[in-house]
Amino acid sequence: MRKIGTWLIKALLRLLGLLPLRVHYALGRVVAWLAEDVFHYRRDVVIHNLTKCFPDKNVWDLKPIRKDFYRHFGDLVAEAVWFGGCRNAERLHRQRLVEVENPEVAAHLFEVAPSMVVMYSHCGNWELYGGISSYNYTDTPLPFTEQNYCVVYLEQTDKMWDDILRDNRFAPLKDRKNFPGYIESRDIIRYAYAHRGEKKVYNLNTDQRPYFDSPGNIEVDFMGQRVQTMTGAAALARKLGLSVAYLTMRPDRQGHYLMRYTPICEDASKMSVQEIMQTYYTLLEKDIREQPGNYLWTHQRFARN
Whether pTM > 0.85 for this model: the answer is yes
pLDDT of residue 305: 59
Does pLDDT of 211 surpass 70? no
What is the chain's length?
305
Q: What stretches of 52-104 adopt beta strand conformation (E)? A: 98-100
Whether the Cβ atoms of residue 203 and residue 115 lie closer than 8 Å to each other: no
State residue 213's pLDDT score.
Answer: 63
CA 282 to chain centre: 17
Q: What does the pLDDT look like over 249-288, one tens digit per residue?
A: 999 999 999 999 999 999 999 999 999 999 999 999 999 9
Which helix (H) or strand (E) covers residue 221, if one does?
A: strand 218-222
Task: State the DSSP H helix or E strand holding residue 225, giving kind and residue range, or none if neither.
Answer: strand 225-229
CA–CA gap between residue 20 and residue 196 (Å, rounded): 42
Angle at 231 between CA 230 and CA 232, to 5 degrees: 105
pLDDT exceeds cutoff 80 at 109: yes
Q: Please indicate whether residue 11 or residue 57 has the higher confidence score (pLDDT).
A: 57
SS3 state of residue 265: strand
Quote the CA–CA distance of 165 and 126 in Å, as a whole number: 12
Question: CA–CA separation, 25 vs 74, rounded Å?
Answer: 8
> Contact 143/110 with Cβ under 8 angstroms?
yes
pLDDT tens digits for range 142-175 = 888 888 999 888 888 888 777 777 777 777 777 7
Beta strands (DSSP E) in 14-167 are: 98-100, 116-120, 149-153
pLDDT at 177 over 80: no
- The neighbouring-strand residues paired with 26 are none
102 pLDDT tier (thresholds 50, 70, 90) = very high
Q: Which residue has the higher pLDDT, 129 or 214?
A: 129
CA distance 170 to 71: 26
**CA nearest to 121, candidates 303, 253, 301, 255:** 301
Q: Is 84 exposed, middle or buried (0-12, 13-18, 19+ CB in 10 A)?
A: buried
| 48 confidence band (pLDDT: 50, 70, 90) | very high
* Mean pLDDT of the chain, nearest integer: 89
